[in-house]
Structure formats: C-alpha cells, structure tokens
C-alpha cells in the first residue's frame, strides 16, 4: 500500500528537521513550493502542514509563513521544584538575572493575600530566568519576613528564591491557579515574545510555620512553555 502524498510531505519535513538541516525558527518552504516539488495540490500540502502544526513540530505565522517550532518546555505542578532544577533535568543550562530585591510595606490587597497587618514589612523580588540563554520565566515574588528574615540579603544569581525558601521555610500548604494572559509591552520584551503571543501565568501561594510564606506570579511565554502534572 502506497504512502499518502501528505504523509510523504510530513516525512520529508521531519527528516530535514531531525537531520539538523532545518533548525528551530527556520522557515520551511511555502505551500506553493512544496506543491510544485511533490507535484500535488496545495490542499495536500496544507494538510501536511496543518498536522505538523497540531503536533507542535511547526508553527504558522499569519502573513509570514511556516517555521520550525521551538520546543515547549514542561513544568510539573505536583512537585514544587526550582526552575533551575527543572532546566538541569532537561540537560540545559540555567542562569538568572535579578531585576529587583527590596523591602516594602503591604498595601490593602497584599496585606489581605499575605494575611498580615496593613503596612506590614514585606520583601519583594523580581527576576528573569533563562534556559540556554533564552528567557523562559519572569518571577515576581512577595515573601513574609517572619519565615525568611534574611531574604533580601541573598544572592539570587547563585540560588533561586524557591531553593532558598524550601531550605528555610519548609512547605506546609500550597495553592495555585493557572491562566493565559496578554502581557504588557515591558513583559513581552523581557520574555522575547511575539506581538500576539500570550503568557501562561502560574499564581502560587505557599504556607510555612503556620503563616503565608510567599506569593509568586510566574510568567512564561505561551509558545515555549507548558505545565504538566500527574498523581
């Protein structure tokens, strides 16, 4: 039984990618070019490209063409792991850039979420995490000094906030939610995202020693990251 024409086109594209001839981000030939090369209708080529896009091998950009997709890095939701450990487990290199590390006073909304008095002292950090020199997470975190009094004295270019907090404030309870969100221009620039690309945002609140220890908002480029979990 002969191989369907659309499958031959898929195999052709996959062979080029696996052989390293087309790297992630490279543009693949257009529908017209592939139709001429394989002597088939554009509809047949379109099916091959659609299926490879659905399989996250390719990504199609309106008005620009079809490109080899970047891999989607996975993160588990069941175990609370440092992003540096996740990246190392994939055989990649992690480094971080600290953007802000300050002491502040809790406003109404933050005091309610942290379960502390209004104007109580809170630590805040923001940082950007990289995987193989590509930004994959913007981390914004608020920390209760009651469980991590030396938080702002840490060098978070050598240890992640999560690693430090797991050491000094072991978890008792965690709550989280995930949502897709449209980032502002500054966030889009930090994460090197496309104009129409959404973020995947993980909001996480943790408890230790009977109090709220930390609140974190973790922003990820939607085209390069996904969350997974298992029980």
Instruction: Read off the pLDDT of residues 66-79 as tens digits, 9 standing for 90 and up.
Output: 988 876 555 555 45
According to CATH, the superfamily of the domain at 73-228 is Chorismate lyase-like (3.40.1410.10)
Answer positive or negative: Cα dihedral of 32, 34, 36, 41: negative
Q: Is residue 192 a contact partner of residue 130, using CB atoms and an 8 Å limit?
A: no
User: For residue 67, what pLDDT is reported?
Assistant: 87
**pLDDT, position 78:** 45
pLDDT at 230: 47
Instruction: Count Cβ atoms below 10 Å from residue 124 Cβ, excluding itself.
Output: 18
Closest CA to 218 of 190, 194, 197, 195: 190
pLDDT of 231: 42
| Contact status, residue 203 vs residue 39, Cβ threshold 8 Å | no
pLDDT band per the 50, 70, 90 thresholds, residue 4: confident
**pLDDT in the model for residue 44:** 94
Classify domain 5-68 by CATH number: 1.10.10.10
Locate the domains of the chain by residue range. 5-68, 73-228
pTM of the model: 0.64
Whether the pLDDT of residue 62 is over 80: the answer is no
């Amino acid at each position: 039984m002969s191989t369907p024409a659309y499958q031959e086109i898929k195999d052709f594209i996959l062979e080029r990618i696996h052989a390293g001839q087309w790297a992630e981000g490279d543009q693949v030939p257009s529908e017209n070019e592939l139709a001429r090369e394989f002597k088939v209708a554009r509809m047949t080529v379109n099916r091959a490209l659609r299926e490879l896009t659905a399989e996250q091998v390719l990504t199609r950009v309106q008005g620009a063409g079809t490109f080899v997709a970047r891999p989607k890095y996975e993160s588990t939701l069941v175990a609370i792991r440092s992003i540096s450990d996740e990246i190392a487990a994939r055989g990649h290199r992690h480094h971080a850039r600290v953007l802000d590390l300050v002491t502040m006073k809790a406003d109404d909304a933050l005091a309610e979420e942290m379960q502390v008095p209004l104007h109580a002292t809170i630590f805040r950090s923001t940082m950007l995490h990289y995987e193989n020199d590509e930004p994959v997470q913007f981390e914004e975190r608020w920390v209760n000094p009651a469980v991590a009094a030396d938080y702002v004295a840490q060098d978070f270019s050598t240890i992640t906030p999560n690693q430090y907090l797991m050491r000094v404030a072991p978890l008792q309870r965690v709550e989280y939610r995930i949502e897709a969100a449209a980032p502002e221009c500054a966030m889009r620039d930090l994460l090197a995202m496309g104009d129409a690309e959404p973020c995947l945002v993980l909001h996480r609140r943790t408890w230790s020693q009977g109090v709220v220890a930390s609140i974190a908002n973790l922003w990820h480029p939607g085209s390069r990251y996904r969350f997974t979990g298992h029980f």
